[in-house]
A and B are shown apart, each in its own frame.
Chain A
Amino acid sequence: MSHPDAAAAFLADPARAAWHDAALWHVRERRDAAAGAVPGWEALRERAAAVRRYALAHLADHLEAFERQATALGARVHFARDAAEHNALVLEILRGAGAKRVVKSKSMLTEECGLNAHLARAGIDVVDTDLGERIVQLREEPPSHIVMPAIHLRRAEVGALFHERLGAPAGASDPAALAETARRHLRAAFLRADAGITGANFLLADTGGVVVCTNEGNADLGTALPRLHVVCAGIEKVLPRAEDLPVFLRLLARSATGQPITAYTSHFHGPRPGAEMHVVLVDNGRSALLADPALRDALACIRCGACLNTCPVYRRSGGHSYGTPVAGPIGAVLAAARDPVRHASLPFASTLCGSCRDVCPVKIDLPRQLVALREAVRARRGDGPAVRLGVRLAAALLARPRLAEAAGALARRALALVPEPLWRRTPWGRARARPPLPRRSFRALYRGRRE
């Protein structure tokens, strides 16, 4: 389904869409306040951008260094070329440890790879433990936001779900009470888990460390109790040195939610004594993206979600309309780079206003990438008949100034005469009120001013 069609489904509930828009804009405002309170914020962004690009330029070396260091700390490091290899590896590791019940903290990579379904088919019980992730898992739908997975849902929907699945009282809708229900449910899952799967926010090449940020502490409960910890991470997650961490940690949570830091920032250097730790490093299209000079910068992304929160299209269309694990501007770039045919509508899910670039903590030029992807779509498909006709008409008019002026004068009068029902059926008028039309053209005003 194309993005506009999927977005129409989201917009069919105007109250939900308006709430979604306002809630995310509020997060964007919190981000602005947090960024503004840090002296040298722009210097931090510059540095983060430079470190990420340096890390990517020498990615193979940094991965080898990470592997060497992590192995020395007692972890096992694996490589997977694609989602299927990743899923097979994780299953093999779990089976090797006899693990049947798995708790998983947030990992967009495992969403990308479809790990849950793979493990479920093998009879392994996987519980997503981030509250938002658990909500969407129980609803059997993907997350709609990389940081706020259930931002598309209202409290009453969560209440109904928890009533049906977790025994919450009927009609419950108080967030604190619902969170308490989830806490009890998830605590039981932590206590009986045989293994914990986490993602990684950062891999440290010089120390072999894995850094995971959460607000709930679920990655920690999931790794502190079971004897097996499996880290699933994209190969782009490496930072050259542990001393680069403060730059990123100062930017990450402030950009994401406006918090100065997440509640927990855990640094795993090897397994717990007597336990096992595996790190699965996944390519799944990343090396191909690195080979594309126009798009490789997208690998610098640290998944803060700031570009989603600020995007006028994301806020008004909802994460599910993108049909990809990562939504929003960065998700559009990643998905269209990976499968330009299937995701041909995503480069156009943007106004190119540039707000995403302006808030990005690692300064990815997302609008430029979206334009490059649009050009690729056009090069493949050519223009549709409507575009061809429109461009031809415009060219003919603009080459004849008198005719253009006459057409303008006609349009200023004619537009007001179009019946409202007909206006609403035009692609432009479907979601837009008719603008008040000026009586005189700009050229006429200009001439009048000179006289």
Chain B
Amino acid sequence: MSEARAAVLAALRCARAPARALAPWTPPPAPDALPLREALARALEGVGGRLAVAPGPHALGEALESLPCFAGARRVASALPGVARANVDAGTHWDARDLDGLDVAVVPGRLAVAENGAVWVDGAALPHRALLWLAEHLVLVVPADAVVPDLHAAYARLRFDGPGFGVFVAGPSKTADIEQALVFGAQGPRTTTLVLAGTPPT
């Protein structure tokens, strides 16, 4: 098929779309009407997500226990150390399909975006990326000081310089494909909770 490759590239070069330069650009300033934490809370609500806070470094376990999705959870997997309730070691599951039916997955997020409630999750931090979608409920734990105002600020912190997987997660899996009625838990998690961990900057 290298014949096709040569033909396509030649056709594109023959098309003679006029050359253009791309000027340097500065993104518009991020909205600053609200404090970051408040903007994030509102955006999360808008995308159907939930927000919880673990004030100190040792309060994470307590904060997790108080989440509604932990009540009655039987199978819990965590990609973070020190989650007492975690009883499924996702790392030892050779086949990710075994993770189907997990009640809760606890996963570290690198940063949270105030404008849209999205959390960046780096695949390298997970035993298996399917953890994000096979669990009934997803808990994302993000350092409280890793909230950025908008996607421009978020991408300024991300690097794509090798093989890997990363994803912005904004709220639970959702659909409105039947008469525009919004339904959570279309395919993946039915709820997604963001836990901000650590003392927030004052």
Contacts and interface: CB of A to CB of B under 8 A. Distances in A.
B is bound to A: yes
Interface residues of B, number: 77
Contacts of B173: 215-217, 263-264
B85 interface: no
Nearest to A268: B165
A328 interface: no
Interface string A333-373: 00000000000000000000000000000000000000000
Interface stretch (B6-14, B51-59, B73-81, B139-147): B6-14
A24 to B, nearest CB: 9
Contacts of B84: none
Nearest to A22: B180
Interface stretch (B62-70, B103-111, B153-161): B153-161
Interface string B16-42: 111111110101111100000000000
Contact of A79 (B5, B19, B25): B5
Contact of A80 (B1, B15, B176, B181): B1
B71 interface: no
A290 B176 contact: no
Given A63-B12, A176-B181, A267-B165, A39 B155 contact: no
Contacts of B133: 217, 220-221, 224
A328 B91 CA distance: 47
A23 B182 CA distance: 13
Contacts, number: 253
B178 A187 contact: no
B132 A81 contact: no
B9 A207 contact: no
A224 B128 contact: yes
A162 to B, nearest CB: 10
Contact of A187 (B5, B22, B175, B187): B187
B155 A245 contact: yes
A263 B174 contact: yes
On chain A, which size bracket covers the interface? Answer: 35 or more
Given A54-B20, A63-B9, A63-B12, A263 B169 contact: yes
A215 B175 contact: yes
Nearest to B101: A187
Contact of B11 (A153, A154, A187, A283): A283
A380 B21 CA distance: 37
Contacts of A418: none
B186 to A, nearest CB: 4
B163 to A, nearest CB: 4
B177 A132 contact: yes
Given A60-B9, A74-B163, 7 more contacts: A81-B4, A129-B187, A216-B173, A221-B130, A235-B12, A261-B118, A290-B12
Interface of A: 23, 26-27, 37-40, 43-44, 47, 50-51, 53-54, 56-60, 63-64, 73-74, 78-81, 85, 89, 129-132, 135, 148-151, 153-155, 158, 175-176, 178-180, 182-183, 186-187, 190-191, 204, 207, 209, 215-218, 220-221, 224-225, 235, 240, 242-243, 245-247, 249-250, 257, 259-272, 281, 283, 287-288, 290-291, 296
Query: Closest 3 CB pairs between A and B?
Result: A40-B28, A260-B116, A132-B177
11 contacts: A59-B12, A149-B177, A150-B177, A217-B173, A218-B186, A224-B132, A262-B170, A263-B172, A270-B163, A287-B12, A288-B11
